[in-house]
Amino acid sequence: MKSRSQQIQEIVKSGKDPVYFMNQYLKIQHPLKGLIPFNTYNFQDDCVDDFNDHRFNIILKSRQLGISTLVAAYAVWQASFYKEKTY
């Protein structure tokens, strides 16, 4: 069990770093393996950085890269930590 100050530090860290939040707390449904942790790849981390740094993003991508799931996870992170955002 974490102390209250450790819990607060964890919330602050998760609120500042969406990649950390996704990798620590989110899970995704895999068709064969069931519920698995959402572990981002390096290119997904770069996409999240771009989401934070730029208001508009255009992504040229192929299929099965997990970008739709990444965008949904980013929306969950924003909804969890920013009251003034709209989706």
What's the confidence (pLDDT) of residue 15? 96
47 assigned to some structural domain: yes
Domain that holds residue 11: 4-81
With a pLDDT cut of 70, the percent of the chain lying above it is 100
Mean pLDDT of 43-58: 95
* pLDDT reported for residue 1: 81
Query: For residues 58-82, b (16+ Cβ closer than 10 Å) or e, as one string?
Result: eeeeeeeebeebbeebbebbbeeee
What are phi and psi for residue 36, nearest 5 degrees? -130, 155
- Asked if pLDDT for residue 36 goes beyond 80, the answer is yes
Average model confidence (pLDDT) across the chain: 94
Residue 21 lies in a domain: yes
87, part of any domain: no
Residue 9 lies in a domain: yes
Assign 34 a pLDDT band (cuts: 50, 70, 90).
very high
Query: Is 86 a domain residue?
Result: no
What crossing angle do the helices spanning 67-81 and 18-25 adopt, rounded to 10°?
100
Number of domains in the chain: 1
Residue 77 lies in a domain: yes
